[in-house]
Amino acid sequence: MTVDENTAPNRSTARVSVAAVWLFVAVGAVITAVFVAPDARLQWFPIVLAAATILSFCLQLALDSKVGFVNRLMASVGGSVVILAVATGVLALATSVEG
């Protein structure tokens, strides 16, 4: 069986692959906020982003379609950056309020 190179993956499949990365990052941010010491949190967020980037590549390459690869990858990694930026802001506000 050959893969047609001009066929885009199903939209719902593409959306699920992007949303899975975002969910991974959100869970990683919560785990980091809960279990990591406040002075080490900023060291762990880049690790979460690196893991999300690798996961993004794996999921997008698993779809086995060249069409839209860059857009899907950009959505996955870009959304991950935004989620971690929001988490960083929330933790910075919480830290400043506490002390």
Average pLDDT value over all residues in the chain: 90
Q: Is the pTM of this model over 0.85?
A: yes
Distance CA 42, CA 57 (A): 24
Kindly report each contact of residues 68-72 with a partner whose C-beta sits within 8 Å and lies 24 or more positions away, as own/partner: 68/8, 68/9, 68/14, 72/14, 72/17, 72/18
Side chain identity at residue 24, one-letter code: F
> Which is more confidently placed, 94 or 82?
82
| pLDDT number for residue 1 | 47
Q: Mean pLDDT across the stretch 67-77?
A: 93
Q: Mean pLDDT across the stretch 48-63?
A: 95
